[in-house]
Chains A and B, each alone.
Chain A
Amino acid sequence: MDDVFIELDGVEKVFDVRRKTGFLKRERRRVRAVDSISFTVARGEMVGYIGPNGAGKSTTIKMLTGILTPSGGRLRVAGIDPSRERTRLAHRIGVVFGQRTTLWWDLPLIDSYKLMHRMYRIPDARYRENLSRLTELLDLGDLLDVPVRQLSLGQRMRGDIAAALLHDPEVLYLDEPTIGLDVISKTRVRDFLRQLNAERATTVLLTTHDLQDIEQLCSRVMVIDHGRLVYDGALDGLHEAGESERTLVVDLERELPPIEAPPPARVVRVEGARQWLAFPASASASELVSRIAAEYPLVDLSVREPDIEAVIAKMYEDRAGRPVT
């Protein structure tokens, strides 16, 4: 049985937004930032939480971390109601805000960790052990005595991640953990998260705009739009939900008229001896390949996965009250 760690049942968050509509005139409007969202996350899962800006991502994270009180529904993290027992929950969660460091700007990195040590009342032995492990994994050894203001963005992000993990949280929330980082730093952060999840079974929930984060880290993805959960499932399934297509690139012996493929597969582009065929992401490629190989002089072929970004964009486009999985 799945060990449910995060549980949301019909969670809502409604804001009263006051907007200026003229001189001294204000209009009050109710905005459903999060509109009846339900999902569960098992211990040790690694989930990507994506959606356009203002879709309700950070509102959800803020409710999960106890910053915001839900306006309705039931929400539990590790069996705790975050809004009621904020401080008790704080000991069990780690949060990394991508664009905002929680480290002390003017002080050496290690000072921020010493503060965490005492603020979270981490037992000395465990603190030392965690610090040395995180220092090694995140390659922070040379940085501990450097004032935070002198760190690069990537170094600071690694520093922030370590700070959020010193107290052995059972769940780690990451808000845009790779934003603004260079390729090497991104890879480092992703490698670390994968390792953390594999070795310590830490539950990870991350919001991101970088779909590579999702592709490389998360077996499960949730998509939110206009406060509603529009998709929750495996990354592969997202393609189906988005009615996305894969592309089969075929190199023939010579220039030929477009291949007559069995529908719904079809040729979308011809360039000399090379032809591109689009087919549903959910369909098997092997059947199509054997059909072509039987009738055409095949030299080489490759399958291209759909661009997830395009998939999600498509989902947003044609989502109209589609039921959630």
Chain B
Amino acid sequence: MFVEGLRAYGLIAGMWVRSGMTYRTSFVFTVFGNLLMTGLDFVGILLMFTQVDSLGGWSLPEIAMLYGLSVTSFGIADMLLGSMDVLGARMRDGSFDVLLVRPVPVLAQVGADRFALRRLGRVAQGAVVLGWALSSVDVEWTAVKVLLVPVMVLSGAAIFSAVFVAGAAFQIFAQDAAEVQNAFTYGGTTLLQYPPTVFGKDLVRGATFMLPLAFVNWVPAAHILDRPYPIGLPGWASFASPLVAVGCCALAGLAWRTGLRSYRSTGS
């Protein structure tokens, strides 16, 4: 079923890409706009650093590393599943039912909805910042630390994907409240662009144990940069991101199934 889902995802995403191409002038424009828009946060950070040398005790390259990791992994998830906020509208206008009479997993169809290549803008922008940060950050690179970087990006993408799926499941119950998930998706990636030392301990605890976004970059990056994490965690936690990602995806999948079952029994 997973393979079937991926295949269906590819088919539908391909259709959306082709649809998008029919507005060619807009396409170039929006890719550029997307890049610029997502870069504003980083410009904000750069502006801050025209006034200070460190924030929460972290230097610019260190924060840039957090930023790059957060934006790249979020960007991947956003590109893959970022349009699920149209789900509520689809349920209201009835077009969601069409997806349910197709012989492929509904989640794959919803995930591929409105797929747009312009979203690569965010990934590219995050990757550029990450590249710069990795080359300028003051770290004694070991094999393990080097390996941790791609692991973080992929696990982070999976964790954010789980947030998107959970958000979609939530929309089934509260169709008009699609914006709530922005607090966790866009809010989440914004949170992770700044060092954990900036935030109150309760917020860090919440982002570590309740909605474990901290495993996208905070926890493993603290290990790479040899910085103490504001709340005590065992040493292996720095390597736990893939595990956390798997757990998040499983929970999100469960939430989606519950949501879908509820839709099919209540019709709303």
Contacts and interface: CB of A to CB of B under 8 A. Distances in A.
Chain A–chain B contact at Cβ < 8 A? yes
Interface of A: 15-16, 59, 62, 65-69, 71, 83, 86-88, 90-91, 93, 95, 97, 100, 102, 104-107, 111, 115, 118-120, 147
A316 B102 CA distance: 36
Given A100-B94, A106-B22, A65 B103 contact: no
A91 B98 CA distance: 14
Contacts of A106: 19, 22-23
- Interface of chain B: mostly helix, strand, loop or mixed: helix
B94 A97 contact: yes
B265 interface: yes
B264 A104 contact: no
A15 B8 CA distance: 32
A100 B15 contact: no
Given A100-B98, A107-B18, A91 B267 contact: no
Nearest to A112: B15
Contacts of A93: 101
B203 interface: no
Please provide the 5 A-B residue pairs with the shortest distance between their CB atoms, ordered closest to farther: A90-B103, A106-B19, A67-B100, A106-B22, A95-B101
Contact of B267 (A59, A83, A115): A59
Given A68-B267, A90-B101, 11 more contacts: A66-B100, A66-B101, A67-B97, A69-B261, A71-B265, A87-B104, A87-B105, A90-B102, A95-B98, A106-B23, A118-B11
Interface residues of B, number: 25
Contacts of B103: 87-88, 90-91, 119-120
Interface in B6-33: 8, 11-12, 15, 18-19, 22-23
B142 interface: no
Contacts of B12: 115
Contacts of A62: 97, 267
Contacts of A90: 101-103
Interface in B41-76: none
A104 B101 contact: no
A69 B105 CA distance: 17
B136 interface: no
Contacts of A147: 22
25 contacts: A15-B266, A15-B268, A16-B266, A66-B101, A67-B101, A69-B261, A69-B264, A87-B103, A87-B105, A90-B102, A95-B101, A97-B94, A97-B97, A97-B98, A100-B93, A100-B94, A102-B98, A104-B19, A106-B19, A107-B18, A115-B15, A119-B8, A119-B103, A120-B103, A147-B22
